[in-house]
């Protein structure tokens, strides 16, 4: 490959990678850890590009060279590694045991790839430099498909509490390059995947940047801006709303400091999110105010979710007030939110009355 061919074939990819690096340094919403992981993904894609070009160069040799199976093994190993790094990119708290299990297929396959020239398990090259497949010739493809499936499941979990629109956008971004790579594999086309991975990573990072801007940094719930946006976008799909207000946040801040208040909000937020049920989206809409939107959920399901939240909240040292309303035909979501808020304030007043009564009879 001449320098002109290299530039014409890879200019767009290199341009996108350069742009992604620039975005990393100007991104205010992205953590340093996420930036570092993205740089690792970029590095792997550059390694993949160099190895692919070098492997194409070795194809022109009239006789076998040991460099070619090494380059082939590296390519087979790097493709799954890129997907693994992309999964880690969206994992704030990595379960080390689960991550170790995730690495086992890659860790087992890499030595097989690098020794395959001599074992003939996956592939080998004749002295004439012609490729030959072993009895596990489809192992690299199966390994790649395995990590594709895990990657998709990971994204479903990551976006479990996100809005419907966010899920659709993420599906488009993640499925596009993966489907493209699988089509190339199925058609047995000698094509480099690096451009697909680069475009997908750039879009994925841009999506994450936008997504992080919608997240409340303290509780990791969707913020007030997302709340208003989803009212406009999903109004016709929302079937129920729940208003939640935490009691005594000001008392905690004034008495024990803001760190105690922050810890309380984190605990309350996680309790709400973990017990809000299916088809729910949870928002922090104020200092101690939370809102849940339900899509396709009936009243029984929402009441059960509230009871689950209340039950789990009772296991903590914090108390919340709750209210809900269904978005029925002829009633706007704004009207339903007002009803939900009114019921929540009534619950709050009742909780205060009970607390005062208990305080009065306490010896």
What is the CATH classification number for the domain harbouring 257? 3.30.70.270
Of 180, 213, 246, the residue at which a domain comes to its end is 213
Total domains in the fold of the chain: 2
Q: Is residue 299 part of a domain?
A: yes
Q: Is the dihedral of CA 131, 135, 141, 147 positive or negative?
A: negative
pLDDT score recorded for residue 18: 82
Is the pLDDT score of 116 beyond 80? yes
Q: State the pLDDT confidence band at 169, using cuts at 50, 70 and 90.
A: confident
Mean pLDDT value across residues 48-65: 88
Q: Is residue 313 part of a domain?
A: yes
Q: Is residue 132 part of a domain?
A: yes
**DSSP H or E run through 240:** strand 238-246
Please state which of the ranges 41-45, 84-88, 161-165, 240-244 shows the lowest mean pLDDT. 161-165
Nearest-CA neighbor of 196 among 6, 5, 8, 10? 10
Q: Is residue 219 part of a domain?
A: no
In DSSP terms, 321 is beta-bridged to 245
Mean pLDDT value across residues 168-192: 76
Mean pLDDT value across residues 230-242: 89
Q: Is residue 218 part of a domain?
A: no
**DSSP H or E run through 110:** helix 96-119
Mean pLDDT value across residues 273-280: 89
Over its C-alpha atoms, the chain yields an Rg (Å, rounded) of: 27
Q: Say whether both 148 and 245 belong to one domain.
A: no
pLDDT score recorded for residue 85: 85
What is the CATH classification number for the domain harbouring 35? 1.20.1070
Cα separation, 335 vs 321, in Å, equals: 19
Q: Say whether both 32 and 121 belong to one domain.
A: yes
pLDDT score recorded for residue 357: 67
Q: Say whether both 149 and 228 belong to one domain.
A: no
Asked if residue 326 lies in contact with residue 240, where contact means CB atoms within 8 angstroms, the answer is yes
pLDDT score recorded for residue 180: 80
Within 10 angstroms of residue 130's Cβ, the number of other Cβ atoms is 10
Q: Say whether both 30 and 160 belong to one domain.
A: yes
SS3 category, 269:
helix
Q: Say whether both 153 and 231 belong to one domain.
A: no
Q: Is residue 336 part of a domain?
A: yes
Residue-wise pLDDT tens digits, 286-324: 889 999 999 988 999 999 999 999 999 999 989 999 999
Q: Say whether both 177 and 28 belong to one domain.
A: yes
Q: Say whether both 115 and 179 belong to one domain.
A: yes
Nearest-CA neighbor of 91 among 150, 45, 133, 166? 150
Q: Residue 63: which residues within 8 A CB-CB, separation 6 or more?
A: 127, 128, 129
Mean pLDDT estimate for the chain: 85
**DSSP H or E run through 230:** helix 224-234
Q: Say whether both 63 and 192 belong to one domain.
A: yes
pLDDT score recorded for residue 105: 95
Q: Say whether both 258 and 123 belong to one domain.
A: no
Q: Which two tokens stand for residue 329?
A: 């035909």
Of 178, 213, 248, the residue at which a domain comes to its end is 213
pLDDT score recorded for residue 294: 93
Mean pLDDT value across residues 216-227: 89
Instruction: Give the angle subtended at the CA of 258 by the CAs of 256 and 260, to the nearest 5°.
Output: 55
Q: Say whether both 325 and 206 belong to one domain.
A: no
Mean pLDDT value across residues 155-184: 75
pLDDT score recorded for residue 311: 94
pLDDT score recorded for residue 249: 86
Q: Is residue 311 part of a domain?
A: yes
pLDDT score recorded for residue 190: 66
Q: Is residue 343 part of a domain?
A: yes
pLDDT score recorded for residue 293: 95
Nearest-CA neighbor of 109 among 150, 138, 148? 138
Q: State the pLDDT confidence band at 53, using cuts at 50, 70 and 90.
A: confident
Please state which of the ranges 23-32, 83-92, 140-149, 190-199 shows the lowest mean pLDDT. 190-199
DSSP state of 92: S
Of 161, 186, 213, the residue at which a domain comes to its end is 213
Q: State the pLDDT confidence band at 360, using cuts at 50, 70 and 90.
A: low
pLDDT score recorded for residue 9: 67
Q: Say whether both 128 and 58 belong to one domain.
A: yes
Instruction: Show the domain range for 278.
Output: 224-361
Within 10 angstroms of residue 303's Cβ, the number of other Cβ atoms is 14
In the chain, the percentage of residues whose pLDDT exceeds 90 is 37
DSSP per position, 7-35: HHHHHHHHHHHHHHHHHHHH-SSS-HHHH
Cα separation, 201 vs 137, in Å, equals: 28
**φ and ψ of 133, to 5 deg:** -90, 145
Q: Say whether both 183 and 250 belong to one domain.
A: no
pLDDT score recorded for residue 162: 66
Nearest-CA neighbor of 282 among 317, 241, 248, 246? 241
Nearest-CA neighbor of 321 among 248, 221, 216? 248
Mean pLDDT value across residues 221-226: 90
């Amino acid at each position: 490959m001449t320098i002109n061919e290299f530039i014409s074939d890879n200019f767009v990819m290199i341009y996108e990678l350069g742009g992604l690096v620039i975005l990393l340094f100007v991104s205010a919403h992205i953590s340093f850890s996420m930036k570092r992981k993205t740089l690792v993904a970029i590095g792997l894609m550059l390694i993949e590009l160099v190895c692919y070009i070098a492997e194409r160069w070795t194809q022109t040799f009239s006789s076998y060279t040991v460099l070619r199976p090494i380059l082939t093994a590296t390519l087979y190993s790097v493709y799954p590694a890129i997907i693994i790094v992309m999964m880690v990119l969206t994992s704030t708290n990595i379960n080390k045991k689960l991550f170790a299990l995730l690495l086992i297929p890659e860790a087992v396959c890499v030595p097989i790839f690098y020794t395959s020239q001599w074992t003939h398990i996956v592939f080998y090259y004749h002295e004439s430099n012609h490729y030959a497949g072993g009895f596990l010739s489809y192992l690299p493809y199966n390994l790649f498909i395995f990590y594709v499936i895990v990657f998709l499941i990971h994204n479903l979990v990551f976006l479990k509490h996100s809005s419907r629109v966010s899920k659709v956008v993420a599906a488009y971004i993640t499925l596009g390059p993966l489907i493209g790579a699988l089509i190339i594999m199925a058609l047995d086309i000698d094509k480099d995947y690096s451009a697909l991975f680069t475009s997908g990573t750039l879009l994925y990072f841009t999506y994450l940047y936008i997504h992080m801007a919608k997240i409340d940094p303290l509780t990791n719930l969707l913020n007030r801006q997302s709340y208003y946006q989803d009212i406009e976008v999903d109004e016709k799909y929302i079937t129920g709303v729940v208003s939640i207000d935490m009691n005594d946040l000001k008392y905690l801040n004034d008495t024990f400091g803001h760190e105690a208040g922050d810890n309380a909000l984190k605990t309350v937020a996680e309790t709400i999110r973990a017990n809000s049920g299916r088809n729910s989206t949870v928002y922090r809409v104020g200092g101690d105010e939370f809102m849940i939107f339900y899509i396709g959920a009936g009243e029984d399901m929402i009441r059960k979710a509230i009871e689950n939240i209340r039950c789990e909240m009772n296991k903590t040292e914090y108390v919340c007030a709750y209210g809900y309303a269904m978005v029925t035909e002829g009633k706007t979501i704004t009207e339903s939110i007002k009803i939900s808020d009114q019921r929540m304030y009534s619950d709050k007043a009742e909780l205060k009355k009970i607390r005062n009564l208990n305080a009065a009879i306490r010896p």
